[in-house]
Amino acid sequence: MKPTSTNKYDEDYEVQYKAHWDHLQATLNEENIEGFRIEFLDMHPYDQAIFFKDQSKKTRLQIYAYLSPEEIAEIMENIELEDSELFFSEMDPRFASMVFAEMPADDAVDILNELNKDKVASFLTIMDKEAADEIKQLLHYEEKTAGSIMTTEYVAIFKAQTTKQAMTQLKEDAPDAETIYYLYVLDEDKRLVGVVSLRDLIIAEEDELIADIMSEKIVAVSVGKDQEEVAQMMRDYDFLAVPVVDFQDHLLGIITVDDILDVMEAEASEDYTKLAGVSEGHKPDDTAVISARKRLPWLIILLFLGMFTASLIGQFEETLDQVAMLAIFIPLIAGMAGNTGTQALAVAVRGLATGEYGKQNKLKLVMREAGTGFITGSVCGIVITIVIFLWKSDLFLGMLVGISIMATLVVATLSGSLIPLLMDRFKIDPAVASGPFITTINDIISILIYFGMATAFMGLLL
């Protein structure tokens, strides 16, 4: 649904949009093929995808019958990856293979990677040989690498060509190319040696050689490079596209900015699920059993860590027996430790995910978080000391809880920043240092600090 607005122009647009939507629905109900095609194909592909997803299975089958594979392919390019599997399973296999053939190869590969191998083999067998060969080539690359997200639909020219020859070739190749803003220049051995922008090509004289106008300052990525690193590089350089090469600099494909946006969204979603202590991303059609299976691994681990925390409190049973008042403040101290640790974790994981932290910046992060923990801990410690003194008329109990909170917040903040940095150091995804995990670890640390201090100064509490 589109958001509502108080702006009169937006309100008018909403009315028109809904009226168009209702009329389009009516053409389907009336089985008015020509009317539906005129109305539907006049819409932006994104709006087509939204309308398509909103329909029942019966109506979607009707739409498959009314549109060509090429037209359905354009819709599928605007559908979220997790929904694509359902829609392709609804289609006739031969029709689905024709849709795959019409899609950009990299987008088709992304969807096929979500299907089981038997279905993939079936689609590739039915598919047009040229399209199937192109998709098979991309399917061989390891998932989440540059090779797996690149497209082979680009414009490549040779440095010995003239600009007139290159322009003629561009006109021939442009309809099938993912982007034409960059033309990649190859030598006689088909190695990438330069790049020419569309602007440079247009303003050059017709008889100029490509070798004379190309830029030799090429930034390319290897086919095995991690997709997250490619995303960071394209963000840093503000590229619309980046070439992908093998170890001998042969041009294999290009990665465009729209693919990188998908990567960034996928990586952010993956990090979020890990931070929440979920092993895999959830899909809208997951059953309760599937959702539970995805969440249980972390919960079982945290259950045992929680049991360890409980047994740790049991070690201080004598202290609790003598000063029962200490038990009141356990949730307070443990909660504060978990909260501040999660905050530090979020800052560290985000910085690592965006590539903001080099060696010096990592040290700066740790020092900053230590300082932050000390300041926040001191302020919270002073506040709780005053509150407990006014509440219980016991200055030492207030000081004990206040100092415990200060020490706990410093340690919790440091652990929240250090643990993901250490994981990154050992090539482990720092996002697996999830919020629940950090919270439980900090619970253990806070209990040790609190009861350790209480036991040491028991004489002053009695």
DSSP one-letter code for 60: H
pLDDT per residue as tens, the chain (462 positions) = 344 444 554 555 566 667 778 888 899 999 999 999 998 998 888 899 999 998 999 999 999 999 999 999 999 988 888 788 889 989 999 999 999 999 988 889 888 988 888 888 888 999 988 888 888 888 888 888 999 889 888 999 999 999 999 999 999 999 888 888 899 999 998 899 999 999 999 999 999 999 999 999 889 999 999 888 898 888 888 888 999 999 899 999 999 988 888 887 777 666 666 655 555 555 555 667 776 776 677 667 767 777 777 777 777 777 776 667 788 888 888 888 888 888 887 788 777 766 666 666 778 888 888 899 899 999 999 999 999 899 888 888 889 889 989 998 998 888 888 888 887 777 776 666 556 677 778 888 888 888 888 888 776 665
CATH superfamily of 288-461: SLC41 divalent cation transporters, integral membrane domain (1.10.357.20)
- SS3 (DSSP) at 258: helix
Q: Which of 377, 448, 385 is nearest to 410 (CA)?
A: 377
Q: With CA atoms as reference, report the closest residue to 219 among 189, 254, 187.
A: 254
H or E element that contains 365: helix 359-392
| Residue owning tokens 């849709």 | 99
362, 352 contact by CB (below 8 A): no
Residue 86: count other Cβ atoms within 10 Å of its Cβ: 15
DSSP codes, 327-343: GGGHHHHHHHHHHHHHH
Please choose, from the candidates 343, 339, 365, 338, the residue with its C-alpha nearest in 3D space to the C-alpha of residue 421.
Answer: 365
* pLDDT, position 273: 63
When computed from its CA atoms, the radius of gyration of the chain, rounded to whole angstroms, is 30
pTM above 0.85, yes or no: no
What's phi and psi for 255, nearest 5 deg? -115, 125
What is the predicted pLDDT for the residue at 275? 57
Count CA within 13 A, CB hemisphere, residue 387.
10
pLDDT of residue 58: 92
d(CA 178, CA 165): 21
Q: How many angstroms separate the CA atoms of 166 and 207, rounded?
A: 11
Could you tell me the residue ranges of all domains in the chain?
8-149, 156-256, 288-461
* Edge-first strand listing for the sheet containing 251-256: 221-222, 241-245, 251-256
What pLDDT, on the 0 to 100 scale, is given for residue 433? 55
Strands 192-197 and 182-186, bridge-based pairing? antiparallel
CA distance 83 to 53: 9
d(CA 260, CA 242) in angstroms, rounded, equals 10
Residue appearing with tokens 């249980």: 296
What's the CATH number for 8-149?
1.25.60.10
The answer to whether domain 8-149 and domain 156-256 are alike in fold is: no
Contact 194, 215 (CB under 8 A): yes
* pLDDT, position 1: 38
Can you read off the two tokens belonging to residue 119?
């279905």
Q: What is the pLDDT of residue 2?
A: 43
Structure confidence at residue 337 (pLDDT): 84
Inter-CA distances, 146 with 101, 234, 243, 357, Å: 21, 12, 10, 22
Which sign does the torsion angle of CA 12, 15, 18, 20 carry?
negative
- Residue 74's Cβ-side half-sphere holds a number of Cα atoms within 13 Å equal to 13
SS3 state of residue 195: strand
In the sheet that holds 156-158, the strands lie side by side as 156-158, 182-186, 192-197
Q: Does domain 156-256 have CATH number 3.10.580.10?
A: yes
